[in-house]
Structure 1
Amino acid sequence: MATSSGPPPPSAMYARIRTIIAEARLDSGAGGYDNSSSGGGSSPASPGASSDGSSSADEFCAQEQGEFRRHAASPLSSSARRDELDFDDRDFIRQVSLSSPRALDDVHGRQQRVLLLLLPAFASPADAAARAEALLRWLSGFDVAWVLDTGGSSGGDERALPRRELGRRVGAWAQALGGMERVFRLGHGRELAPAQAAALGELAAASSGAMLRLVDAVAALGSSPSKLLAALDMHAPLSETYPVLARLFSWGPDHPVPAAAEAALAGLVGAARHGGRDLRAFVRSHYPWRMPQGGEVHPCVRFWMGYFRCMLRSRASLHLVVLGSDGGESPAPGPEGSRGLVAELVSCLEAALEENAAALAFPGLRQVFMLNNTHAVARRAAGSDLRHFLPPEWLRVREERMEGHIKSYMDASWAPVVSRLGGGGRRFTKQPARRRSPLSAFYAAFENACGAQRCWKVPDPALRSVLREAVSELVVPAYRRYLEEHQDVKAAAGRTAEELEQQLSGLFEG
């Protein structure tokens, strides 16, 4: 009598799942999202299709321009959310950086020369047309002349930008504001005639006042995840740069620019806090919950895990603004508040996945969906700085959940198949007394299960291998044992144990 064998013991399966996650961490380390100082860079996967089924480097190349054209006039609010979708790890956060300190000096040198050429337009007596033309030229040198056409909180341009364009402009704005501050400091340090010094202050006031238009426009946008990221990205440059300019040019609290900056900062902080309060609701409802019928990774996983990473690149602002420490004498930002927020948001995403998985009614499909998505969440967390903001046991818990999903899948999908052989599983249906032989019933159940699951998809190759192995190690030994114990029963043509195993090896390709 053959020795009984069954599915791999829990410890072995858990070890294999743990190895999959560990390898994902190593794979993402070489070119991971958080390797660059700005928090940008490539996604944890290499260019092309990632192993969790989401695309990476080429994802927004062919589609991006078309999407911009389609949504150029769409309001960035809760009522128009299509341009919020497909949040990529690299999207919204690309920072334009100069290649070297020498290149930076060259650019600042050119900007200082332009500054000296523009100063006469800001000397008294004022010529409004000349000043407007000079201001446009000055802002164009920093690639932010578009701020002059940006509506403020009082109304103006109510056409909100698509998410990606909003992110690009916020990044350009932050870089330009820092560049202007450096050039003004260098210019202020030069030996200037009193009239030139006064004109320099006028140019600084005009350009920094124009830059506040984007701050007001972001604060006035409808509540959305992109608005929160934009507010966080603008908070530090705004709160740090304008006080420096005020001291540099001796602008008192009654000067129009510091007063406007204070009002803009208050509006931005309010917008960020409102967005922070709404964030949990966004995670549960912001993304359209059309369920993938093959059980693969839901696009919201890529969107939200990328979003959480982007949120953390403004850690100081996140701590001071969203988590409620109002600057002043507050302690230096630490990881504890951010750690709790990240863990809560990831748990909120997982709960939303679990709730919506109930729509997948076919036996076992729900478990495959949760296995794929738990793996994708864990992989993206393990391959980025998110892992530093999650509890020490967080990854181990997800590995155990993945093992549990595999076990539940086996119980739902394949234990009923094996039970047709009269053992090795529960009997899920009452069969008429011996109308069909156990082997015939087994063949029918096996074909039904294979036919239904042939379209299911497990994108990660290592995870797919583990799942196939678990199925094979449950079904094939039970079938082989049945044939050995019933010598008078002949296997049907094409139904040897090896042929069944070969058929199972084609599952989960989608």
Structure 2
Amino acid sequence: MATSSVPPCAMYARIKTIIAEARLESGGGGGYDNSSGGGSSPASPGASESDGSSSADEFYPPDLITSEFPRHASPLSSSARDEFDFDRDCVRQFFVSSPRVLDDVHTHQQRTLLLLLPAFASPADAASQADALSHWLSGLDIAWVLDMGASGRGGGALPRRELGSRVSAWAQALGTMERLFRRLRHRELEPAQAAALGELAAASSGAMLGLAGAVAVLGSSPSTLLAALDLYAPLSETYPVLAVLFSWGPFHPVPAAAGAALAGLVETARRGGRDLGAFVRSHCTWQMPQGGEVHPCVGFWMGYLRCMLRRRVSLHLVLGGDDGESPATPLAPGAEGIHRLVAELVSCLEAALEEKAAALASPGLRQVFMLNNTHAVVRRAAGSDLRHFLPSDWLRVREERIEGLIRGYMDASWVPVVSRLDSGGGRTKQPARRRRPLIAFYTAFENACSAQRCWNVPNPALRGVLRNTVSEYVVPAYRRYLDDHPEVEAAPGHTAEELEEQLSDLFEG
């Protein structure tokens, strides 16, 4: 069987160029946030509409967006934008406010706190304390923690689609509490006021543990894992500070409950970490895109990995110990445990894509599907900090894989077309016999073009490489045939230039 006439070095150089574009477009990492935990998900610096996968979740099926990644997925998607409409004014105010404005907000909260202290003075009035606590937590937009109970028994009623936004509000409120408690604690308070402040701190921080308990009893899922990691850092850092601030001993109910909640989050996160590989496979069950386009799971999981790495300190502390104990030191750059986890999950995603490709009937379309998806995975890895957590030869191996997919596509789709020109007796003097292979070639060529116009290669650079590869293989072979048989004329509409024009319309979807 004939092979592609495109020089391997030329094809490989083009492939290396389009892979390098991801690094250039991202500026070496773009807007990726290296923070260790919490917050909204990272932008998608290495992805754009040109690779067919756009933002991290633009193609997510709505039911999976709302059930699994309500906020941990890319904030660029329409679903994420809709969910965060209520918070835009607050975010905008935060960024444009002067330090004086923010200080005024804290001053107002501090005054409110002082006004609530009498309800926690001795002798205790349970009804007054409950009303004051509700008022205090409502002012921080987290009164819903009172419905959960510190034990987390209300976890089953926690709406999963609200999980991300609730964790974010919880972390922000806990930080505000700590700052205000510290400010007041360093003021000269009357002994009764200091005691009341301690009671209010214990009641509010104890109520806050309800969310941690609720997350700990949720079923294992990707969003639960991220939520557990988001809660782990502030819980492990803030509650010891509060214990020192208010002289809570080891047997005080709040530190004891915080320790139990932390242990529950660790177990939940470890369970989710063990299940991540199964999650990758099970979340690749969406309907296959038409024309070999990028599968939705690519954006979903590559975006998820970037979100997970934003919490990599918590991830290392929670998942890093093979002996069941958390490491004593935080994650250092290049920690092998995180490297191994990222590499395994990307490989699992690639294996799932291979399984999806196997279901396609056309061998050529299978190659195009894997080409699109491999290219999308590479762009998302090369254009973000994910590349630092993958093996040093990972990009080179994928570049070679893309080259092999192009060759496989050529062998499946165009080598059989060009082979029609090699049959029919070579330089026989009978024009009728010389025309037969040409007719067979025209038929095979039109059939291939007709089918492959419906195939889609969304990325312009990759589409250009594929079109050039086809054209540089088919058109020269056709020209040689016509040159070798001057007595045979090309059929109308089938000059070499016209065939080249038809090939320029391939892969438009």
- TM-score normalized by structure 2? 0.87
RMSD: 2.9
Higher mean C-alpha deviation, range 178-187 or range 120-129: 120-129
Greater percentage in helix: 2
Query: Aligned partners of 1:399 and 1:498: how far apart in 2?
Result: 31
Match of 2:105 among 102, 107, 110: 107
**In the alignment, which residue of structure 2 is the partner of 1:429?**
none
Identify which range, 285-294 or 328-337, moves more after superposition: 328-337
Aligned mate of 2:134, from 136, 139, 151: 136
Kindly provide the CA deviation profile for residues 53-102 of structure 1, in whole angstroms up to 9, marking residues without a partner as x. Answer: 12339949xx99xx5xxx7xxxxxxxx89723797333889998643655
**Structure 1 range deviating more: 263-272 or 245-254:** 245-254
Q: Distance in 2 between matches of 1:207 and 1:183?
A: 13
Distance 2:257 2:3 in 1: 75
Per mean C-alpha deviation after superposition, the further-off stretch among 233-242 and 329-338 is 329-338
Deviations 1:265-310 (A, max 9, x none): 1110000000000011111113324222310100000000010011
**CA separation of 1:29/1:166 partners in 2, compared to 1, >3 Å: closer, same or farther?**
farther
> Residues 173-184 of structure 1 correspond to what in structure 2 (within 5 A)?
173-184=170-181
Out of 165, 180, 192, the residue aligned to residue 195 of structure 1 is 192
Counterparts of 1:361 and 1:329 in 2: how far apart (Å)?
A: 49
SS at match of 1:462: helix
1:484-509 C-alpha deviation (Å, 9 max, x unpaired): 11112121111111111111101111
Distance, in Å, in 1 between the alignment partners of 2:124 and 2:369 is: 67
- Where does structure 1 lack aligned partners over 5 or more consecutive residues? 72-79, 424-432
CA contact (8 A) 1:7 1:471 kept: no
Aligned partner of 2:67 in structure 1 is: 83
The C-alpha deviation readout for 1:308-354, integer Å capped at 9, x for no partner, is: 01111111111111222666772342222211111111111111111
Amino acid at match of 1:217: A
- Answer whether contact 2:23 2:383 (CA < 8 A) is retained: yes
Report the Cα distance in structure 1 between the residues aligned to 2:140 and 2:507, rounded to whole angstroms: 52
Rounded Cα–Cα distance in structure 1 between residues aligned with 2:150 and 2:506: 56
Identity of aligned residues (%): 70
The one-letter code matched in structure 1 to 2:124 is: A
Residue in 1 that maps onto 2:447: 448
Partner Cα separation in structure 2 for residue 229 and residue 147 of structure 1: 19
Tell me if the contact between 2:4 and 2:407 (Cα under 8 Å) persists in the aligned partners.
no
Where in structure 2 are the equivalents of 1:351-366 lying within 5 Å? 351-366=351-366
Is 1:228–1:272's contact at 8 Å kept on the other side of the alignment? yes
1:75 — aligned with what? none
Q: State the distance in 2 between where 1:152 and 1:492 align.
A: 81
- Check whether the contact 2:318–2:326 (CA below 8 A) recurs between aligned residues: no
> Where does 1:196-275 land on structure 2 (aligned, <5 Å)?
196-275=193-272
Distance 1:487 1:479 in 2: 12
- For these two proteins, the number of residue pairs brought into alignment is 480
**C-alpha separation in 2, matches of 1:33 and 1:89:** 12
How many Å separate the matches in 2 of 1:464 and 1:149? 54
**Structure 2: tracts of 5 or more residues without a match:** 424-431
**Are 2:401 and 1:382 equivalent residues in the alignment?**
no
5 Å-filtered alignment, 1:324-363, equals 324=321, 330-334=328-332, 335-363=335-363
SS in structure 2 of the partner of residue 339 of structure 1: helix
2:441 is the alignment partner of 1:457: no
Tell me the CA shift for residue 122 of structure 1: 1.1
Q: Are the equivalent residues in 2 in contact too, given 1:31–1:42 (CA < 8 A)?
A: no
- Mapped to 2, the partners of 1:397 and 1:57 lie a distance apart of 24
The reply to whether residue 25 of structure 1 matches residue 23 of structure 2 is yes
- SS at the partner of 2:180? helix
Distance 2:489 2:243 in 1: 92
AA matched with 2:346: V
Asked whether the 8 Å contact 2:302–2:381 carries over to 1, the reply is yes
Name the residue aligned to 2:407: 407
